[in-house]
């Protein structure tokens, strides 16, 4: 288990039930292999809400509003349309680079993996995009490191809400609505 996942378990103990996924099917559907730390995060926590603000997307999430596969399809389409009007972030100017969403917020910000040609999924880093604007931030960490470091205030995003994280952390697993 990664240090980030160990730290998350200190912040929020694991729910009593773990989530099982057919990762081969998920990855076939997405067309890419996913990072190992993300798979472990989903196995332990599933689709989840952190500090009543940040939602970790899960493939086949019981709350269909936070289904990773649906988000990936819609965001890919939306971003292609957006690039016609806004400049791509510098990190995406490299031919073959793309982003895949892994989390969102209640304000509409989206957190992505930055996927670059020739990189293994465990090397993907995090990009944050503001909800209604063209600002992007890049963080050279994994998704679990981003989450753990954000919650313990080691890492700060100027795009995410100043109310995140909370002083006393809240965690809830996403269920069916």
Is the separation of the CB atoms in 145 and 35 below 8 Å?
no
In sequence order, what are the residues at sequence separation of 6 or more whose Cβ sits closer than 8 angstroms to the Cβ of residue 86?
Answer: 134
Q: What is the mean pLDDT of residues 23-49?
A: 97
**pLDDT tens digits for 8-19?**
999 999 888 888
Angle CA 72–7–67, to nearest 5: 20
Q: What is the mean pLDDT of residues 40-67?
A: 96
Here the CATH number for the domain that contains residue 27 is: 3.40.1580.10
What per-residue confidence (pLDDT) applies to 177? 61
What per-residue confidence (pLDDT) applies to 115? 97
Hunting for tokens 């993996």 — which residue is that?
A: 113
Domain count for the chain? 1
What per-residue confidence (pLDDT) applies to 85? 83
| Range(s) of the domain holding residue 120 | 3-173
Alpha-carbon span 39 to 57, nearest angstrom: 11
Hunting for tokens 């470091």 — which residue is that?
A: 149
**pLDDT tens digits for 59-93?**
999 999 999 999 999 998 888 888 888 888 999 98
Given 3-state DSSP classes, what are the helix, strand and coil percentages for the chain, each rounded to the nearest 5?
35, 20, 45
Helix axes 143-151, 36-45, angle to 10 degrees: 60
**pLDDT tens digits for 104-147?**
999 999 999 999 999 999 999 999 999 988 899 999 999 999 99
What per-residue confidence (pLDDT) applies to 84? 84
């Amino acid at each position: 288990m990664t240090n980030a996942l160990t730290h998350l378990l200190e912040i929020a103990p694991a729910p009593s039930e773990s989530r099982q996924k057919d990762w081969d099917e998920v990855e076939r559907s997405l067309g890419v292999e996913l990072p190992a730390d993300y798979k472990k995060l989903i196995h332990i926590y599933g689709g989840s809400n952190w500090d009543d603000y940040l939602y970790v997307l899960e493939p086949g999430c019981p709350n269909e509003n936070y289904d990773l596969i649906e988000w990936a399809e819609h965001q890919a389409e939306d971003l292609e349309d957006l690039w016609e009007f806004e400049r791509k972030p510098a990190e995406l100017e490299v031919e073959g680079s793309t982003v895949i969403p892994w989390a969102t917020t209640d304000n509409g910000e989206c957190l992505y993996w930055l996927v670059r040609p020739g990189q293994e999924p465990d090397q993907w880093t995090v990009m944050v995009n503001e909800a209604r604007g063209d600002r992007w931030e890049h963080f050279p960490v994994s998704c679990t490191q981003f989450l753990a470091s954000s919650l313990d205030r080691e890492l700060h995003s100027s795009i995410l809400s100043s109310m995140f994280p909370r002083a006393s952390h809240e965690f809830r697993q996403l269920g069916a609505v």
